[in-house]
Amino acid sequence: MTPSCPALLLLALSLAAFVTLCVLRGAPMADLLVYRAEGAAVAHGTDLYGFTVTEWHLPATYPPFAAILFVPAVWLPVPVLKALFLAGNALLLATLVALSARLASRPLPPAPLCTATALALWLEPVFQTLLFGQINLALACLVLWDLTRPAGARAKGLALGMAAGVKLTPAVFLAYLLVRGRVREAATAGTAFAGTVALGAVLLPSASADFWTRRLYETGRVGQAWIVDNQSLRGLVARALGDPAPGLAWALPAAVVAVLGLGLAARARRESHGVLLTACTALLVCPISWTHHWVWCVPLLAVLLAEGRTRTAVLVALVFTARTMWLVPHEGARDLELPWWQQPLAGAYPLLALGLLVSYDGATGRRCAPAPVSGPR
C-alpha cells in the first residue's frame, strides 16, 4: 500500500520547510563536524580527545568505538555529508515513528506514518537533532527496535548493547532488562557493549585508556551543566538554586529518581510503560541531557495516543513544541539568574518527566511480555 497524495504532500512540504530554514540559518551541523573530526583522528592516528572544532570549540566526547564508526565521514566533502545526514535523519525519524507505533501495539499504515513523520519533525528535540547533525534518532531506533522484537528473538539485546557502546546513556536499558527479569537479553546486551569496548581498546589503545580512566568523568567537557540547553535534573536544580555546581542538592534527588523510575519500570504492567519510564529516568538522572536528547517524546506521544489519553498527549506535544527554554534570558550566565516564574519555562522537559513519574498509575495496563510483532529475528 502506498501513502495517499495528501500525506505525501504534507511530508514533502514539512521537509521542504525544514531544509529552507536550514539554508536560511546556514545550519552549521556542529555535532556532525565533531563526528567527522573524530573519524579523521582515527584515520590519521592523531589524539582523539585532544582537539576542538567549530567556533564553539567542541571536543570529542563519545567512546573510541563511536569514533571508529565515524571514519567513513572523512571520505565525503562536508556539504555532501550534511545532505546525507539530513536525509538519513529524516528516514530515521520515519523509522522511529513506525517503531513507536509498534511499541504502542498500533502499527501505522503508510499514510498515517507519513503524516505523523511530517508533524514529528517540528518537535523541538527532533528539530534540534536534525539541525545539529546529531545521532539521537539512530540510537533511539536501535534501542526501540531491539526492545520491540518478539520475546526469544535471535540475539535480542545486541543492538541495545551496540547503542550503549556508541553513547553510554542507552546502557540504562540494561538495568531495565535486569529489573524485568530478562537476564538473557541483558547478558546479550552486556556482551555486545563489552565487545565495543574491547574493539576500541584493540584498535585505539591509547584513546581507550584516556577515555575510560579520565575523559569519561569530565562532565564539564561536554558543556556547562547549568545552561537551559541541559534539560536534566541537574540542570533544573542548578538553575533553581543559582548554583553551577549543586553537588548533593542534585545527586540525592537524582538517586531517588533513579530508584523510583526503575522501580516503576520493573512493576509496569505494560511493556511500553516500562520502556518509557526507563527513558524518562535516564534523561532525568544523566548529568547532561541536551534538549535534542529528548527524542523519546516521539514514542511517548505514540503510546499516549494509542491508549486514548488525548489530553495528556496534547499537553506533551505542546511542551515539546513550545521551545520555552529558548524564550528565557540565557546569554552568558543569565541562566543562573532566572526569577522563580521563569524556572518552569527553563526546565519544561524534566518537570514534565517528573510529573509523569510521580503520577504514573501502574494499574492502567496489564503486565505482559512484549506484544508479538513482525520483524526480523
pTM: 0.93
Q: Report residue 330 as a C-alpha cell.
A: 540565557
Gyration radius of the chain over CA positions: 20
Residue 245 in any domain: the answer is: yes
Residue 300 in any domain: the answer is: yes
Handedness of CA 15, 21, 22, 28 (dihedral sign): negative
> Residue 60 carries which side chain, given as an amino acid letter?
A
- Can you give the pLDDT at residue 1? 54
Q: Using CA atoms, how far apart are residues 37 and 45, in angstroms rounded to an integer? A: 12
Torsion of CA 19, 20, 25, 30, to 10 degrees: 10
> Residue 131 carries which side chain, given as an amino acid letter?
L
> Residue 282 carries which side chain, given as an amino acid letter?
A
Nearest to 188 by CA among 153, 236, 222, 220: 153
58 beta partners: 53
Residue 304 in any domain: the answer is: yes
Residue 145 in any domain: the answer is: no
Torsion of CA 306, 310, 316, 318, to 10 degrees: 130
Report the number of distinct structural domains present in the chain: 1
From first to last of its 377 residues, the chain has per-residue pLDDT tens of 566 678 889 999 999 999 898 888 777 899 999 999 999 999 999 999 999 998 888 999 999 999 999 999 999 999 999 999 999 999 999 999 999 999 999 999 999 999 999 999 999 999 999 999 999 999 999 999 999 999 889 999 999 999 999 999 999 999 999 999 999 999 999 999 999 999 999 999 999 999 999 998 887 788 889 999 999 999 999 999 999 999 999 999 999 999 999 999 999 999 999 999 999 999 999 999 999 999 999 999 999 999 999 999 999 999 999 999 999 998 888 899 999 999 999 999 999 999 999 998 765 544 333 333 333 32
Q: Report residue 244 as a C-alpha cell.
A: 553551577
Residue 375 in any domain: the answer is: no
CB 137 within 8 A of CB 89: yes
Residues of the domain holding 258: 222-361
Residue 58 in any domain: the answer is: no
Residue 59 in any domain: the answer is: no
